[in-house]
Amino acid sequence: MKIIDILNSKKTISFEFFPPKRDSDLPRLYETVDRLSTYNPDFVSFTYGAGGNTRQLTTQVSKEAKLSDKFEVMSHLTCIAHNKTEIINILKNLTLSNIENIIALRGDTPKDMTISKDNLKHATDLIEIIKSNFSNFCIAGACYPEFHPESNNSVDDIKFTKLKQDKGVDFLITQLFFDNKDFLSFKEKAIKNGITIPIIPGILPITSTKQIRRFTKLCGSKIPLKLNEKLENSINNDKETTKLGIEYATNQILELIDNDIPGIHFYSLNKTSSVGHVLNNLGISNQTPEYII
């Protein structure tokens, strides 16, 4: 089923996973996906080479998850290290695997790879290829409440986000953020500039101070001062950080729910417990089959 059809009928819950580097670690991923599936996600997604991780296994894990028939699946696809022919082949493979949902991304240049001239430059190039060669995909795109680190200014950033909609993106998922004001102000600007498609906030329950500082440095999201001070106190205690992360994500989502969001996308970091705790705090448990925000 196309995710946009789900979004048209209800608020969604989704979980993002990253495929392991080695085939031998696949059973562990499937176990994690299985455990989180008891929370009845509307869809799960699998990254493509994010943070230097593998790109090879994305189609395979997406296919396996789709075969399980427990939830919808969205495959991530980045285009910066591919030319058009390679992209078409990947899309054909996803079609054969019955994958109906793709998040079309540019990606970041992989460290071990040189980019050749015929490689695609922007997510919009990928969206164009999907739209003009395939009719079977619902397409998502990325957006940035604090604006993409390479954007010259917020006007350009919104302009290129709008271009994703114009080229055929059905909905957007945000980069992780910790200050809801950034999301709400981005959403307001987006609407003012003609963006009408759903914008799903991406939420990451923090589990390690050092890790989140590394992530935010890479992706350009900021950690609010007060949260950062608390994180400093538990810099060597991931258990304490995890508790703080669960509490923070719960409060963040409660406030977002009051502001009419179309769903929540969890950056699960392949861990079950934090997301599970947040969902339980929000009143969604194994016993609650339908999550209505």
According to CB under 6 A, which one of 7, 13, 50, 61 is a site residue for ligand FAD? 50
Q: Would you give the DSSP letter of residue 112?
A: T
Residue 145 within binding range of ligand FAD, rule CB under 6 A:
no
- Residues forming beta bridges with residue 15, ordered by sequence position: 44, 266
| Choice among 16, 72, 100, 146 that is catalytic | 16
Pick between residue 98 and residue 109 the one whose CB is nearest to ligand FAD. 109
Cβ at position 267, least distance to ligand FAD in Å: 8
Dig out the tokens for 78 from the structure: 């980045």
Residue 41 within binding range of ligand FAD, rule CB under 6 A:
no
Q: In the window 120-139, what residues touch ligand FAD (CB under 6 A)?
A: 122-124
Cβ at position 167, least distance to ligand FAD in Å: 9
Closest CA to 141 of 156, 130, 154: 130
- Residues forming beta bridges with residue 167, ordered by sequence position: none
According to CB under 6 A, which one of 130, 142, 190, 279 is a site residue for ligand FAD? 142
DSSP for 11-61 reads -EEEEEE---SSGGGHHHHHHHHHHHHTT--SEEEE-SSGGG--STTHHHH
Residue 82 within binding range of ligand FAD, rule CB under 6 A:
no
Residue 49 within binding range of ligand FAD, rule CB under 6 A:
yes
According to CB under 6 A, which one of 148, 162, 189, 243 is a site residue for ligand FAD? 148
For residue 64, indicate whether it is catalytic.
Answer: no
How big is the chain, counted in residues? 293
Interacting stretch for ligand FAD, rule CB under 6 A, among 28-36, 156-164, 189-197, 226-234?
156-164
Interacting stretch for ligand FAD, rule CB under 6 A, among 62-70, 148-156, 241-249, 251-259?
148-156
Contacts with ligand FAD by CB under 6 A: the residue count is 25
Cα(44)–Cα(11) distance, rounded to whole angstroms?
Answer: 14
Interacting stretch for ligand FAD, rule CB under 6 A, among 31-39, 41-49, 90-98, 188-196?
41-49
According to CB under 6 A, which one of 17, 39, 43, 48 is a site residue for ligand FAD? 48
Dig out the tokens for 90 from the structure: 């990947």
Question: Packing angle between helix 225-233 and helix 238-257, nearest 10 degrees?
Answer: 150
Task: Give Cβ neighbours of residue 103 (< 8 Å, ≥ 6 apart).
Answer: 45, 74, 75, 76, 77, 139, 140, 141, 142, 173
Cβ at position 148, least distance to ligand FAD in Å: 4
Cα(111)–Cα(118) distance, rounded to whole angstroms?
Answer: 18
According to CB under 6 A, which one of 72, 100, 146, 157 is a site residue for ligand FAD? 157
Residue 160 within binding range of ligand FAD, rule CB under 6 A:
yes
Residue 263 within binding range of ligand FAD, rule CB under 6 A:
no
Residue 173 within binding range of ligand FAD, rule CB under 6 A:
yes
As to burial, measured by CB atoms within 10 angstroms (0-12 exposed, 13-18 middle, 19+ buried), residue 194 is: exposed
Residue ranges binding ligand FAD (CB under 6 A): 47-50, 76, 78, 103, 105-108, 122-124, 142, 148, 150-151, 156-157, 160, 163, 173, 175, 202
